[in-house]
Structure 1
Amino acid sequence: MTEQIEQILLVINQCMMYRIKPMTSPNMKYKAGEWTPEDFLWQGKCVVVARGDQCIVKFVDSNTDATFAQCPVGPGAVEPVIDSSRYFVVRIVDETQGRKAFLGMGFQERSEAFDFTVALQDFERRLTERKERANKKEEPIDMSAFELKPGQTITLNIKSTAPTGKKPSKGTLLPPPSSGKRAQFSAPPSVQKPAQPVANVQPQQQPKKDSIDSLLFF
C-alpha cells in the first residue's frame, strides 16, 4: 500500500498544549481559565494537513520537525472552549497503539485561532463538494433531436472562393508588365569637347574598374 501525499493547508509557528482534566459529565464544557501554569505540557508548531479525504492537525517540534502528537479531524475531535476564542480542546490519537487523549491547545493571537478554524471549515466544505460531484450521476443527453428522420435531407450552400477569371473592375490597380529581363540603365550621353589639334590629342585613358564600381553601387 502506497503512502498518501500530504498537502499542507496551514502552519502556525507558536502553539501551546496543556493537560486537562477529563469530563465527568457529558453536559460539562471546557474552560481555558481552569488551566494552570502547572498544566502546561508542550510548545511548538501547529500544522494542518490534508491526507486524501482526511484532515489532520499535527503538532510539530519547531527545531527538529518531529511530530509530538496529531489529531485526526472528525466529529468531536476539535472543540472550542466557552471562555476564550484562542483555545481549543483536541483529541490526540496514537495510531500505532490506538490510544486517545484530550489535550488543551491555544494560540497567542486571535487571528491565528481564526485561521485555524477557517482551515478546518474550508477542508470540510471542499470534501463535501467533491463527494457530491462524485455521487451525482450525469444525465444522458437526448440525441434524437439531432438525428434525421426518414426522408429528411440537409442542403448545404457553400460559397466558392475560387477565382472566377473576370476582368478587374475599373480602378483596380494592375501589376506592372514583366518583360522577363532585368531592367538596364542606359549610359549618359557623352559631352562633345571642341576639336583640338592633332598634335595635342592624347590617347584617352580607360577608367579604372574600381572607379566605375564606386559610381554604380551604393
Structure 2
Amino acid sequence: MDTEFESVLLVIRECFVYKIPPRTAARGYRASEWGDLGTSFLWKGRLRVMSKGQSCFIRLEDNETGETFAVCPYDPNSNSVEAVLDSSRYFVLKIENEGRHAFVGMGFQERGDAFDFNVALQDFTKQIIAEKQSEKRAKQVDDTPKKDYSLKEGQTINISIGNVGKRSRNRPTENTQSSFASGGGGGGGMVPLIPPPPSAAQVKQQQQQQQNQHNLF
C-alpha cells in the first residue's frame, strides 16, 4: 500500500511554453533563439512543483480546468531542468509521457516567479541529500557488528564495595566493662569512676539536717 502523499512545493499562476530548436552545441540553450517570446508561445497556463517521497515533478496545468498539459520529472543529477544562457526567466524542461520525452522551453513574465521556481527545486534537492545521508548513517550503524556482553557458562563477576562490613573500632569486651565497674583494684588497673554529684534533693536534705543540729545547740 502506497503511504506517501503528494505535497505542493510551489504554484505559479502563469507560465509560457515554447517550441525550441534542437541544440546544436554543448554550450547550452538561448531564449533569444525561440522567436518572439511575447507572441510565439505554444501554451500558457499554471505551473505546480510537486513532491512525493523522494520524487519531484513539475506539472503544467490548464488554469481553468486543471487538465495536465505536460509533466517534467525533476532529477537534480540530470538535464531535466536547464536554465538558458541569456535570461534568468527562461528554462528548458524535459517532459515525459508514456516512456517518450521531448524538450520544451518554459518561461515566466516576472523574475520573482523564476526566482521562486529555482528556490523550490533547490530546497527539494537539499532535502533529498539530507534524507539520503541520514539513511546512509543509519545503515552504517545497522551494519556495525554487535558486541556480546553476556556472561558465558561458568563466568562470574566479582564486585568490590569499599569498606562495607568492616568495623571502625572494636566494641569493649565484658572483661573491660567489668574493670571499669570494679575500679581495677591494683596500681596497674583502670582509674576508678568518680561518683556522680548529689542531686538537689539530697543537698536540700543535708542542709536541713545541719540546720536542725544547729538548733539543738
Structure 2: gaps (5+ residues)? 150-156, 163-217
Q: Which letter maps to 2:105?
A: G
Alignment correspondent of 2:35: 36
What's the TM-score once normalised by structure 2's chain length? 0.62
Deviation at 1:63, TM superposition (A): 0.5
Residues 1-218 of structure 1 aligned to structure 2 (within 5 Å): 2=2, 4-25=4-25, 27-37=26-36, 39-74=40-75, 75-94=78-97, 96=98, 98-136=99-137, 137-138=140-141, 150-153=158-161
Q: For 1:24 and 1:92, locate their aligned partners in 2 and report how far apart those are by CA, in whole Å.
A: 20
CA distance in 2, matches of 1:50, 1:118: 14
Does structure 1 conserve the Cα–Cα contact (< 8 Å) formed by 2:21 and 2:34? no
**TM superposition shift of 1:2:** 3.9
Task: Letter of the 2:10 partner, please give it.
Answer: L
- Contact persistence 1:16–1:44 (CA under 8 A): yes
Name stretches of at least 5 consecutive residues in structure 1 with no aligned partner. 155-218
**1:113-170 CA distances to partner (integer Å, 9 max, x unpaired)?**
11101111111111111111111133799998xxxx622349xxxxxxxxxxxxxxxx
Specify whether residues 151 and 50 from structure 1 end up closer, same or farther in structure 2 by C-alpha distance, changes over 3 A only.
Answer: same
**Alpha carbons of structure 1 residues 48 and 104: separation in structure 2 relative to 1, 3 Å:** same
Which secondary structure does the structure 2 equivalent of 1:40 belong to?
coil
- Find the aligned partners of 2:134 and 2:145 in 1 and give their Cα distance: 16
Question: What is the percent sequence identity of the aligned residues?
Answer: 43
User: CA offsets, 1:32-90, max 9 Å, x none?
Assistant: 11222464100111100002211101101100111100100121010000111000001
Q: TM-score, normalised by structure 1?
A: 0.61
Distance verdict in 2 for CA 1:153–1:49, change over 3 Å: farther
Deviations 1:168-215 (A, max 9, x none): xxxxxxxxxxxxxxxxxxxxxxxxxxxxxxxxxxxxxxxxxxxxxxxx
The 1:129–1:3 alpha-carbon spacing in structure 2 relative to 1, beyond 3 Å, is closer
Number of aligned residue pairs: give it: 149
CA–CA distance in 1 between the matches of 2:158 and 2:145? 24
Cα RMSD for the two superposed structures? 2.7
What SS does the corresponding residue of 1:20 show, helix, strand or coil?
coil
- After superposing on structure 2, the runs of 4+ consecutive aligned residues of structure 1 that deviate more than 2 Å are 1-5, 137-144
Match of 2:185 in 1: none
The separation in 1 between residues aligned to 2:10 and 2:52, in whole angstroms, is 13
- Equivalent-residue separation in structure 2 for 1:112 and 1:89 (angstroms): 15
2 CA distance for matches of 1:51 and 1:58?
A: 13
Q: Distance in 2 between matches of 1:152 and 1:110?
A: 75
CA distance in 2, matches of 1:16, 1:100: 19
Q: Retained in 2: the 8 A contact 1:20–1:39?
A: no
Q: Paired residue for 2:194? A: none
